[in-house]
Amino acid sequence: MSAKIVSLINMKGGVGKTTLAIGMAWELAKTKKVLLVDIDPQFNATQWVVKADIYLDWVKNKHTVLSIFQPNGPAGFHHGNQAAAFQKPTPVTSIIHVQHSGSELHVLPSTLELMKLDAAPRGTENRLRVFLERVRSAYDYILIDCPPTASLFSYSAFLASDAYLVPVKPDPLSVLGLPLLDKAMLDYEERSGQELPRLGLVFTQVRQTEAMRTTMDQVRREYPGEVFDGQIIQTTGVAEAVEDNSPLQSFHKTSALLRAPLAKICAEFTDRAEYV
Ligand SMILES: Nc1ncnc2c1ncn2[C@@H]1O[C@H](COP(=O)(O)OP(=O)(O)OP(=O)(O)O)[C@@H](O)[C@H]1O
Ligand SMILES: [Mg+2]
């Protein structure tokens, strides 16, 4: 087994990247071994998947993705815990196992302290790749939830990935992020000397309005053959599912509307991922 590693990225914030990443991670985890990697300093994915008390306990003496980027971090960097700061992160001390509805999902958690990592030494961008190379034989899929910025974190995620997936909120202003992302990927190719294939685009937070229908048609024309058939509609109950640490497909307020679309998106995803 060697995992397919896929980054979810869009330069526009708040379009539903994290929501899609978590929905897909739990969906794939029904039958596959899945690792979700949170590299966003806002750690929204971590907060959703890992219960607060378990997270607070974990960071007392275990690692987050910060330790992957900075394995020799100064004492006190890791939530004031010197013991953890001096122990190099391993898969066992960095990956949290979470169970829900009979599935198991593994999470490499993030932390707000990731924000402190501004002046990182050269080579830092390769550390995530090296770590994921080490664990990839244990997984079928590794999904990386990226922040909406062209940062060290996103660059590291690209270097570690086999492909990327673009969640798109199809409103006229949010799609302005797409050319920016195309540009960021060109910059990445120039800088790294390698190409990262795009797996496709997935519409998120969809409402059946005239404006959204028009925008979706326009995106389908601009990215022919790339838009997934499955899409995530906008619905109430998402915030409550987050608060309840529940997957959307099993939470009582969202499951009826989102279970089938997430299954469809993941079927398309696994098909496309075969070829990268
Ligand atoms: N399908 C949906 N229906 C209703 N609300 C949604 C849906 N998807 C996302 N949201 C809400 O929209 C907000 C942004 O979603 P999310 O955090 O997934 O976006 P993001 O692209 O990861 O944001 P960021 O750029 O900050 O990382 C959240 O409050 C989330 O609960
Ligand atoms: Mg997010």
How far apart, in whole angstroms, are the C-alpha atoms of residue 234 and residue 232? 7
Strand 103-108 relative to strand 96-100: parallel, antiparallel, unpaired? antiparallel
Q: Of all residues in the chain, what percent are helix, strand and coil, respectively (each to 5)?
A: 45, 15, 40
How far apart, in whole angstroms, are the C-alpha atoms of residue 215 and residue 218? 5
**What letter represents residue 252's amino acid?**
H
Q: Which of 32-46, 71-85, 202-216 has the lowest mean pLDDT?
A: 71-85
- The atom of ligand 1 lying closest to the CA of 239 is 31
Q: Could you say which architecture CATH assigns to the domain 4-273? A: 3-Layer(aba) Sandwich (3.40)
Full-model pTM: 0.96
How far apart, in whole angstroms, are the C-alpha atoms of residue 66 and residue 30? 28
Dihedral angle sign, alpha carbons of residues 185, 158, 15, 262: positive
The four Cα atoms 167, 169, 172, 176 give a dihedral, to 10 degrees, of -30
Q: How far is the CA of 76 from the centre of ligand 1 (A)?
A: 32
Is residue 84 scored above 60 in pLDDT?
no
pLDDT of residue 86: 64
What does R_g of the chain's alpha carbons equal in angstroms? 18
Phi, psi for residue 63 in degrees, rounded to 5? -105, 160
Helices 152-160 and 127-135 pack at an angle, to 10 degrees, of 40
> Scanning the structure block, which residue is given the tokens 């196992």?
97
Listed residue (133, 193, 121) closest to 161, CA to CA? 133
pLDDT of residue 77: 47
pLDDT of residue 63: 96
Residue nearest to atom 14 of ligand 1 (CA): 14
Cβ-in-10-Å burial (0-12, 13-18, 19+) of 80 comes to exposed
pLDDT of residue 76: 40
How far apart, in whole angstroms, are the C-alpha atoms of residue 39 and residue 45? 9
User: Which residues have C-beta within 8 Å of that of residue 276, sequence separation ≥ 6?
Assistant: 4, 162, 163, 197, 199
Q: In this structure, which ligand is nearest to the CA of 239? A: 1
Q: What is the mean pLDDT of the chain?
A: 94
- The atom of ligand 1 lying closest to the CA of 234 is 3
Q: How confident is the model at residue 80 (pLDDT cuts 50, 70, 90)?
A: low
Q: Which of 73-87, 107-121, 135-149, 215-229 has the lowest mean pLDDT?
A: 73-87
How far apart, in whole angstroms, are the C-alpha atoms of residue 207 and residue 143? 26
Q: In this structure, which ligand is nearest to the CA of 149? A: 1
Which of 10, 19, 42 maximizes ligand 1 atoms within 8 Å of its Cβ, making it the mutation to test the pocket?
19
- The atom of ligand 1 lying closest to the CA of 10 is 21
Q: Which of 4-13, 75-84, 160-169, 210-219 has the lowest mean pLDDT?
A: 75-84
Tokens of 205: 């937070």
